[in-house]
A = this chain, B = another copy of it.
């Protein structure tokens, strides 16, 4: 299964009575140009668009990512940051999951197709149709443990690896 194109998304939207707009095209473009492994919050998406000179209101951003998630063009992630993130919905075999450090919010993608198989099995048992499955592996790094996590670590402490990769708060 290939990724959607703007044209095919437009077709999908129209068939449901929804529309493709310049704002939605710009939003999708951002996701198509996003390096693999990245995901954006509504705020981050808004800022990125602003940097590109695109003034799209935050409400429109929120409404669009919600609709695109419903259309299964985007995938909504609830990781550990307290707000939602979005990424392109890459279907099997590019489906992936996330490891998250609960101290630094550093996120690493990984692929493991057996997770999807196990999820499908559960869906069949309940007679539900699978839309997506997300395995979130909460972890803590050695460095944090050595610093006495969780009691002696301030909530904004980050390991050197997370700082190097810009995951710090």
Contacts and interface: CB of A to CB of B under 8 A. Distances in A.
Interface string A67-89: 00011000000110000000000
B115 A141 contact: no
A17 interface: yes
A138 to B, nearest CB: 4
Contact of A119 (B102, B122, B137): B137
Interface stretch (A21-29, A37-45, A55-63, A127-135): A127-135
A138 B132 contact: yes
Secondary structure at chain A's binding surface: helix, strand, loop or mixed? Answer: mixed
Contact of A137 (B16, B112, B133, B139): B133
Contacts of A78: 78-79, 136
Contact of A127 (B114, B118, B134, B141): B141
A123 interface: yes
Contacts of A128: 99, 101, 139-142
A19 to B, nearest CB: 12
Nearest to A141: B128
A108 interface: yes
22 contacts: A71-B150, A78-B79, A78-B136, A110-B122, A114-B118, A115-B115, A115-B118, A115-B135, A118-B135, A119-B135, A123-B139, A128-B140, A131-B139, A132-B138, A133-B135, A133-B136, A133-B137, A133-B138, A134-B135, A134-B136, A134-B138, A135-B135
